[in-house]
Structure 1
Amino acid sequence: MRAGPKLQKLAQSLGDLQVISGAASLSIERLPLAAEGLYTCQALYDTEQGAKLYYYYIHLRVLAEGSLVWLRCGLENGTGPLYFLWEHETHSGLVSTVSQGNSSVFNMTEVNRNHTGWYRCVARNQVNQERSDRIWLDIIFGPDIPQIDVTPYSITDRGYSAQERQTVSLLCQAQSNPPSQYVWFYNNSQVYTGPQFTITRILRMHTGTYACLAQNTYLNTRSMKTISLTVYCE
């Protein structure tokens, strides 16, 4: 009987881990610094000569925007002259060439969120070429200045407005990796935790300023957006 994938308690220190069903893949969300390091995949194959065990290795680096990064393509042997090509693959599967030449080192200065993705080295000479395993580069950033969406709403010279006894929803979104955590304030007093703050049957007493604080707990950074909401009687 197959019991399915099993995660040890120690794995919780690496973030929110999930084994992807039907694939030899591991997903890590809310990536902390502790997740950086060498990962090993153990694979068992049935062959005509019997079961064979193979190991695959990949090194994960966790970086923040603005860091200096270099990737080196190492070869055990190879007859020169050697030519190196680096490929970048995005979340959506788009593959592009980001570096090529006779240097085995690929330098990236002041990396940003667009550098997130898989990287692979292709080394070749006049008679052969070899492709490396992929390495995942995760860029930590944010949070950006939040965007607040009010539903339903009307706009006045003071900001947003709503009618009494309506249900008003305030949605806060700020780009960040790991994802932002949100805190809402009403007239400088904390009233809610989470991205969407809903007020059922809003009253005139709810008129005031509403602020959304977005926090990146990994970088210990934060940003805030404030709006004014006026409630009118029917």
Structure 2
Amino acid sequence: MCCPILDVSSVYNLFSLCTFFFEVSSDINDTGKIFGLSFYFMAMTLSVEMIDLLCPYGEIVEGDSVTLRCSSGSYPPAEISWFKGGTYLKYGQTYSISNISSDHSGEYKCRSRNEHGKKYSDAVTLNVMYPPKRVSVFIRPFGVIVEGGSVTLSCSSDANPPAEISWFKGGRFVGSGRIYSISNISSDHSEEYKCKSRNKHGEKYSDAVTLNVMCELIMVQ
């Protein structure tokens, strides 16, 4: 019996990319020729790349537009699905985000699937940069502030990359860092205080808080 011969010269040299599975029928017609030969392969190579980054050096900043493209080799053609952190997003070879925000930060991957199998890409991470927002000042301890005590002001800020914090008393710079502490406080410290959060994408001031230092009451007999 003759063995069937398959000419794969027109398969675009995909041997280096994919694993092939062959199905051969045993039907032989009256002329002795074998027919019904077929083949298929499932996706073995899969990758995700970012394209159309409308920002320098590949950095992604709030407001930019980003497109993720999934590349897959398979036959029959595969159905592509997109996921963020395990949550399904949509079908299609590309996934586009316009006016991107910090909420879009996370890990993305695509899945290639046909009737013979499925495969997931490695995850890619979108790390969206943004200027400071939600800047607030908190006072500890809370309540009446009496001369001779200690007070700590802390500045809370949401920013990527992390912001540098500066402190101002009545508009005058008084210190840096997330925490501003005053020990042995006196009436001279009574004033409005606020912090400024700043990174390379912008800056934002907190609302002002007022320290009203009370004099210690001394009983004289």
Q: State the distance in 2 between where 1:98 and 1:176 align.
A: 26
Q: Does 1:216 align with 2:199?
A: yes
Q: 1:78 aligns with which of 70, 74, 78?
A: 74
CA drift at 1:153? 2.3
How does the TM-score come out when normalised to structure 1?
0.65
Paired residues, what number?
A: 162
> C-alpha separation between the residues in 2 aligned to 1:105 and 1:121?
9
Identity across aligned pairs (percent)? Answer: 25
- Contact kept, 8 Å, 1:145 with 1:224, in 2: the verdict is no
The 1:59/1:193 distance shift into structure 2, 3 A limit, reads farther
Distance 2:214 2:121 in 1: 64
Residue 145 (structure 1) shift? 3.4
Aligned-partner Cα distance in 2 for 1:194–1:59: 38
Match of residue 110, structure 1, among 99, 108, 112: 99
Deviating more after overlay: 104-113 vs 77-86 = 77-86
Query: Which deviations, in whole Å up to 9, do the C-alpha atoms of 1:25-82 show, x marking residues without a partner?
Result: xxxxxxxxxxxxxxxxxxxxxxxxxxxxxxxx9878531112111100012x212442
Q: CA–CA distance in 2 between the matches of 1:109 and 1:79?
A: 32
Whichever residue aligns with residue 184 of structure 1, its letter is W
Greater Cα radius of gyration, structure 1 or 2? 2
Q: Is the CA contact 1:120–1:134 (under 8 Å) kept in the aligned structure 2?
A: yes
Which aligned segments of 4 or more residues in structure 1 are displaced greater than 4 angstroms? 57-61
1:232 aligns with 2:196: no
Contact 1:62 1:137 in 2 (8 A): no
Q: 1:58 to 1:84 in 2, by over 3 A?
A: closer
Superposition map of 1:5-16 within 5 A = none
Does the 8 Å CA contact 2:111/2:118 hold for their aligned counterparts? yes
User: What is the rounded CA distance, in whole Å, between the counterparts of 1:108 and 1:58 in structure 2?
Assistant: 15
Equivalent in 89, 98, 108 of residue 98 of structure 1? 89
TM-score (norm 2): 0.68
Structure 2 alignment gaps of length 5 or more: 1-46, 51-57, 217-221
CA contact (8 A) 2:162 2:199 kept: yes
